[in-house]
A and B are shown apart, each in its own frame.
Chain A
């Protein structure tokens, strides 16, 4: 909604400068999106072209003597339509136009003291400019007084305030509504609209019948105006429409738009000679068609409302008229409609047809039926005044004619309890009255009656809002809620922070990538899929790129690495904590995962040439640190079902409490190559499963006073034997074993082929001194068991 400051001043006794008004409306009424002068250009004066002669050195320039009342100036003009006897807009030297500043100059040897302007040159959008003046200077009426302000003559010396309307404030979609709110802000008086018109003896009801055949039309008023003269609108109507952002067309159409802006009541004018004498409002038939004013054929459905002549549609109700009854230059007799329709129905129709009109915007939000008749009558007055129309006697009405005020009871105590500040009873009364609400006081209670135009006020709290905003939100105190509750992070939230900070502390960079992904990528890296799991897809995606919900984060992380690598950033380490989404049957699931990708060099000595590249065991070490921080123990299992995204021989599944909760490994070299990334290692861990059980407190263990003992063993085993299993077996074989470490791995010709030698260091701890005999016997037992279970021998 664009508000004309001049129009507003016509409606209320406003003494506030435009800029201040714009600022304060934001605080007390509704958000102001922009504020500006309607026309930025300055120093524009009415001039009278006394004399015009050809420029001696040009075939298209004219030299004009222009009269300004007290003085004359010579101005060179290039416009083809400049003529003697015209009143024109002149930008005097010093005038600032959108195209630059006007200076006194010499054009091809002839002095020129300003510029005769077109409307475009003033910065007016081409759509507002009548076609006859599209390619030349604008010609003012003969009543323009030379030497006076040209913008004032045009009514364009105005300020415009654009309101950012919220869906509830339908009352602010009209100048009258805005005026009521501004009036309340400054507690000023309204200027009532005064108008009269003559009614002909001929009765409307003899010319027209109206019948409503759908309850989606609440109210339908109609009047007939005969013998209109279609012409240009008077200047003030054009100026108001231009300020409101509406293109002037002709007087009849402009008057309906003027009423729409003034009352917020959409009017529709039919050419009666095309329409006939009958109006039937009904639901459209499925497949019924009509050509709208924009010359597009529209197919209708049963949910649309149409105005018909009893047979065919002549208007899609509340949205747009049909071209078959359009008011044209030839129109003589007009039927005016002032109706109210069901908001939801209009909304459906306009969004289905993709047709948003000034009318539909208002109908969608709700139009006040109590004003429909006045709006219609005011239009008749204007048609009589400016289109020479003859208004027939009386009007036709079907449906609801008046909706009673809503009455609310509020007390200062209630207001205080809600806002936390005391507002005196009489102050509340003042505010309500300034808003044009009816107020009576009984026993410290206010009975407030709110007129129907404030459709947004439906509950007591809405009224408290009115009081609060007009009283001023700056009057609120700043207090904190007093409550008997405690807060904090849950175990799961704490654990997620541990994950995030652990990776950060180990040098990884956290990223956030999109949850929506391409259907082609969605199955990638989905090693952790559940039985019967399916993908969640959007019903109407904006693009294939973001059409389904991801089931793994890794393909996005690969993209992040590819992006950075392409920008010469090496040694990447990225992680993300996010969700994977899937569906089983009708149920949707979301699981929190942490995923990562790493490649390049292991950070180390700064200037030596020895650099190590990240490998599987580097990432495994990182994960082990994470698990230690989280106090969980996870087992590694070689991947047995190969995928095309992971290296088949360098990928492990992570097992926690007999459940696969993640994987880690090298990106399949083929996949890496296809996606332009170097050798990289990735992992993904289901955090929910890992963090499911709360951690128990582990009691303190007494520290042994006896030093621990270490023994090294070189174990020869089958080359395929997973070492982890062996270490686990040793660890579990004796309570005194506190640590089992691998310190060497040998495969080569010094031992039997098909075997490997693994050097392990076993640490034993005990409260008593461990003698050589005790240790020897324990080692012997371990070896015996290893030999039995894994055919392991001691290296010779």
Chain B
């Protein structure tokens, strides 16, 4: 009897081993473990056997059954594995082919620089002030200590709309507007914006361009504060090793007035073609707010002092990226704009 069981087991395991598909395996399994399986037949024949025989044979038959079941299980896993492997094989791709194209947009380089400057100053507690581009003469000139007939009006020939209204020639009128609005309270602002002058457009001139202006007014603001602020700004914009220097200059709305040079960020100050071999590059105009301006805006110059500074965004951007022609900013050639992709 047990010999018969052994044969059945042997036969079953061989068939299981040889099964090629899941279907075949399932058929083998139901043949050997079903109600009409050879094992079941043997068990039926046990009806006449002794209790002792029934016990031993029953146990042996169960063992055979279990052996078949676990062989089926193992085979099933092997077959499944093979199926998956075959499928994976078929699904091979070339990972070096390009991905879906999502267009990468760009922010205009001038606005990138403006946002960067704004963020530097916001970090120092400044607000962003704005004002109209169609400005009245009073704010653009007169309140800034440039009365009619003042020679400084020569420096910036303007686009007038009528006798009293013009396209602002500088962002400085925002200084006057901000001070008037602040009504005697401390002021700490920067102001980016478009300005307009009667210039023929060429590689270095544009009738429309962008300025960035700063104004700080309070009781104890000194010229050393101005220098510290601009020094920090230049380090953030052009690298931490940058130094600055002041040179005497003139603006009607500041006294003293200075031009601000930054040590050349290309050669580090040794002298190169970028800095015309001087080691320094002119980037800003600045000064202490002129008492006439403070007075005109309702601040007592005996009590309040302040500083102001201004820069051309085009110039800073051109210096930083080595752009040689200001007209690029307004031509908007995609091949130019695309070079300013990215967020950092």
Contact = CB atoms under 8 A, between A and B. Distances in A.
B334 A569 contact: yes
A476 B222 CA distance: 10
A509 B105 contact: yes
Given A168-B250, A487-B121, A497-B115, A513 B221 contact: no
B70 interface: no
A359 B159 CA distance: 29
Contacts of A347: 149, 151
B335 interface: yes
Interface string A536-553: 111111100010010000
Contacts of A364: 151
B172 to A, nearest CB: 16
Interface stretch (A50-58, A268-276, A604-612): A604-612
A363 to B, nearest CB: 11
Interface residues of B, number: 84
B192 to A, nearest CB: 10
Interface string A489-533: 110010001001101111111111111100000000000000000
A484 B186 contact: yes
Interface in A534-581: 536-542, 546, 549, 560, 563-564, 567, 569, 571-574, 579, 581
B228 A546 contact: no
Contacts of A166: 249-250
A510 B222 CA distance: 39
Contacts of A464: 255-256
Contacts of A249: none
Contact of B334 (A483, A504, A509, A514): A509
A549 to B, nearest CB: 7
Interface in B171-225: 186-188, 194, 196, 198, 200, 207-208, 216, 218, 220-225
Nearest to B301: A461
Given A516-B207, A539-B160, A569 B250 contact: no
A538 B161 contact: yes
B288 interface: yes
Contact of A510 (B105, B194, B225, B305): B105
A168 B115 CA distance: 35
Nearest to B127: A487
B207 A507 contact: no
A688 to B, nearest CB: 12
A498 to B, nearest CB: 12
Nearest to A560: B332
A542 B198 contact: yes
B103 interface: yes
Contact of A487 (B106, B122, B196): B122
B86 to A, nearest CB: 27
A603 interface: yes
Interface in B216-250: 216, 218, 220-225, 227-229, 231-232, 245-250
A571 B334 CA distance: 11
Main secondary structure of the interface of B (DSSP, over half): mixed
A428 B134 CA distance: 45
Contacts of B321: none
A641 B99 CA distance: 44
B134 A536 contact: yes
A626 interface: no
A94 B102 CA distance: 66
Contact of A512 (B97, B291, B329): B329
B222 A509 contact: no
Contact of B247 (A27, A493, A542): A27
A481 B225 contact: yes
A478 interface: yes
Contact of A588 (B134, B223, B248, B290): B134
A477 B228 contact: yes
B132 interface: yes
Given A417-B222, A516-B207, A564-B334, A489 B128 contact: yes
Given A418-B223, A468-B223, A603-B101, A512 B332 contact: yes
B162 interface: yes
Interface residues of A, number: 90
Interface in B304-340: 305, 329-335, 337-338
Contact of B105 (A481, A508, A538): A508
B228 A478 contact: yes
A504 B133 CA distance: 26
A488 interface: yes
Nearest to B118: A489
B105 to A, nearest CB: 4
B63 to A, nearest CB: 50
B79 interface: no
Contacts of A542: 198, 200, 207
A80 interface: no
Contact of B127 (A26, A488, A515, A567): A488
A698 interface: no
Contact of B106 (A509, A516, A569, A572): A509
B105 A505 contact: yes
Interface stretch (A28-36, A226-234, A432-440): A28-36
Contacts of B51: none
B100 A604 contact: yes
B328 to A, nearest CB: 11
Contacts of B333: 563-564, 567
Contacts, number: 237
B155 interface: yes
B108 interface: yes
Given A478-B224, A567-B333, A515 B255 contact: no
Interface string A451-487: 0000000010110110011000110111111111111
A509 B338 contact: yes
B104 interface: yes
B255 A420 contact: no
B208 A514 contact: yes
A312 interface: no
A461 B288 contact: yes
Given A418-B223, A512-B108, A512-B332, A485 B125 contact: yes
A480 B152 CA distance: 30
A478 B330 contact: no
A167 B107 CA distance: 39
Query: Most chain-B Cβ atoms within 10 A of its Cβ — which of A420, A481, A511, A515?
Result: A481
Interface string B80-112: 000000000000000001111111111110110
A606 B221 CA distance: 59
A351 to B, nearest CB: 8
B76 to A, nearest CB: 35
Query: Most chain-B Cβ atoms within 10 A of its Cβ — which of A29, A477, A504, A573?
Result: A504
B224 A572 contact: no
A31 B247 contact: yes
A603 B103 contact: yes
A417 B220 contact: yes
Contact of B208 (A515, A540, A541, A606): A515
Contact of B132 (A26, A483, A485, A590): A590
Contact of A479 (B222, B330, B334): B222
Contacts of A603: 100-103
B104 to A, nearest CB: 6
What 4 A-B pairs have minimum CB-CB distances, sorted nearest first? A507-B103, A420-B224, A420-B222, A166-B250
Interface of B: 97-108, 110-111, 115, 118, 121-122, 124-128, 132-134, 149-152, 154-155, 159-162, 165, 167, 186-188, 194, 196, 198, 200, 207-208, 216, 218, 220-225, 227-229, 231-232, 245-250, 255-259, 288, 290-291, 305, 329-335, 337-338
15 contacts: A28-B248, A166-B249, A418-B223, A461-B291, A468-B223, A488-B122, A489-B122, A490-B128, A507-B103, A509-B105, A509-B332, A514-B207, A516-B196, A549-B134, A560-B332
Interface of A: 26-31, 166-169, 343-344, 347-348, 364-365, 417-421, 459, 461-462, 464-465, 468-469, 473-474, 476-490, 493, 497, 500-501, 503-516, 536-542, 546, 549, 560, 563-564, 567, 569, 571-574, 579, 581, 588, 590, 603-607
